[in-house]
């Protein structure tokens, strides 16, 4: 069976998906026996043709909610339609991630479990923001208890067996009552994975620039761990809003990636204090 790397995008982020997400993936990852699928939520015809020329499978989807919510329905449906075709799945965000190293080995070694990265510092308490208004009351109560005191799993990069990924996406979509807003999917994914169980994978496979305690450096546009000088395989410039992202001009290439040093330092310090207060 093949493995699958899947993401989602629209016209706004389509150029990034083509020129940075996909280009970095093809340059750095051994894609033998791996399909690349892009869920399309309104790309231009030009963007779609470029992706197809690069060998990606483009799946037209209906944008009847926020893409971070409805993508789970469409990933579930794609996996159900192609049941038996894929062994392992890598699901990622498409508008704020680049690849700098070969991660295909993780797909080969992961067989029956979820593999995810836990954020060191929680910049945003998604549970407090989204639980009460975006889920049924009975579900919100269960989720609140299950997630109390837990570190946040970052849902921007998830490795899983195909059957488990299909189940995760299906339940995640079903749980979210309000599907028109950014954020509740993060809570739903955390709830399901903490209930089902997962393996914590090294943060180099989803290095979140703003919440990691490990320092990094940028040299000729590439991200390295500062202490070891090793390149970081997956870099994630995460942030709910643009001003929350710690990298300016994020992308793949020598001319990209300027660290907002003062902002990053303040953001990490604030998150560290917040987490210490939460623990007391």
In tens, the pLDDT along 266-275 reads 666 666 655 5
Beta strands across the sheet bearing 207-208:
97-99, 234-236, 207-208
**DSSP code for 21:** I
Phi, psi of 199 (to 5 degrees): -105, 135
Answer whether CATH 3.40.50.12780 is correct for domain 2-203: no
CA pair distance 127, 266, nearest whole angstrom: 23
Domain ranges of the chain: 2-203, 205-279
Mean residue pLDDT across the chain: 91
Q: For residue 278, is pLDDT > 60?
A: no
* DSSP H or E segment with residue 219: strand 216-219
Q: How confident is the model at residue 132 (pLDDT cuts 50, 70, 90)?
A: confident
In tens, the pLDDT along 6-35 reads 999 999 999 999 999 999 999 999 999 999
């Amino acid at each position: 069976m093949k493995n699958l790397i899947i993401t989602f995008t629209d016209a706004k982020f389509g150029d990034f998906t083509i020129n940075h997400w996909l280009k970095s993936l093809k340059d750095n990852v051994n894609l033998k026996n791996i399909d690349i699928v892009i869920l399309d939520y309104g790309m231009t015809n030009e963007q779609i043709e470029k992706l197809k020329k690069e060998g990606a499978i483009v799946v037209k989807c209906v944008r009847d909610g926020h893409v971070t919510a409805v993508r789970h329905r469409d990933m579930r449906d794609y996996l159900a339609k192609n049941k038996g075709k894929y062994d392992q799945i890598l699901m990622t965000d498409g508008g704020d991630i680049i690849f700098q190293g070969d991660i295909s080995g993780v797909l080969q070694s992961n067989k029956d479990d979820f593999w995810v990265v836990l954020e060191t510092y929680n910049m945003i308490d998604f549970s407090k923001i989204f639980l009460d208004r975006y889920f049924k009351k009975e579900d919100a109560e269960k989720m609140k208890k299950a997630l109390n005191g837990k570190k946040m799993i970052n849902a921007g990069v998830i490795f899983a067996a195909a059957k488990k990924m299909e189940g995760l996406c299906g339940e995640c979509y079903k749980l979210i009552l309000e599907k028109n807003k950014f954020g509740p999917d993060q809570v739903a994914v955390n709830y399901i994975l903490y209930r089902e169980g997962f393996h914590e994978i090294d943060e180099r496979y989803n290095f979140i620039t703003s919440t990691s305690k490990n320092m990094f450096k940028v040299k000729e546009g590439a991200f390295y761990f500062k202490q070891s000088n090793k390149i970081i395989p997956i870099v994630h410039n995460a942030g709910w809003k643009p001003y929350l992202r710690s990298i300016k001009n994020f992308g793949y290439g020598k001319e990209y990636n300027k660290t907002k040093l003062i902002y990053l330092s303040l953001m990490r310090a604030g998150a560290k204090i917040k987490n210490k207060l939460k623990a007391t």
